[in-house]
Amino acid sequence: MRKFAFTLFLVSALAVVGAAKMLEGEAKKPVTNKRCPVMNSEVSEKFRAEYKGQYVYFCCQGCITMFEKSPETYIAKLSKEDQDAIKPNELCPMTNEHIHDQTRWIEHEGRRVYFCCDGCKEGFKEKIAAEKKGS
């Protein structure tokens, strides 16, 4: 009986750890919006389209096709959080200066990050590389 109780406890503990790992992975998904603007389902990083300088993510290719026919209709259906997430940054993440054009950018964590100058763009790349080394 003790063996059975221990085995049951061990299996339960492993299930909880496994579920926590799955949730942790979902929380770190590199996307802007979390819900598909067409179907209101979970998005995949595989399906995205550019909209006004930022990426919008979808659950499938069919939703991208529908979105492209009437983007404003579907943007309006997104939550405020997701609408904010798909807006391009207006301030340089390195200097907090206003960005005057969207010609300098890199993709980082599933979104376009814009910069005021090439120096900031390169500095940001170096910062990301240093953070990855430290992980």
| Strand residue runs (E) in 39-80 | 44-51, 54-58
Mean pLDDT lowest for which of 19-23, 24-28, 64-68, 109-113? 19-23
pTM: 0.75
pLDDT value at residue 20:
46
Mean pLDDT of all residues in 40-63: 97
**In the chain, where are the structural domains located?**
29-87, 88-135
pLDDT value at residue 53:
95
Is pLDDT at 133 greater than 70 in this prediction? yes
- pLDDT tens, residue by residue, 73-126: 999 999 999 999 999 999 999 999 999 999 999 999 999 999 999 999 999 999
- Which residues in 74-103 are b (16+ Cβ under 10 Å) and which e? bbeebeeebeebbebbeebbbeeeebeeee
| Alpha-carbon gap, residue 43 to 127, rounded angstroms | 28
How buried is residue 113: exposed, middle or buried, by Cβ count under 10 Å (0-12/13-18/19+)? buried
Mean pLDDT of all residues in 61-67: 98
The chain-wide mean pLDDT, for the chain, equals 86
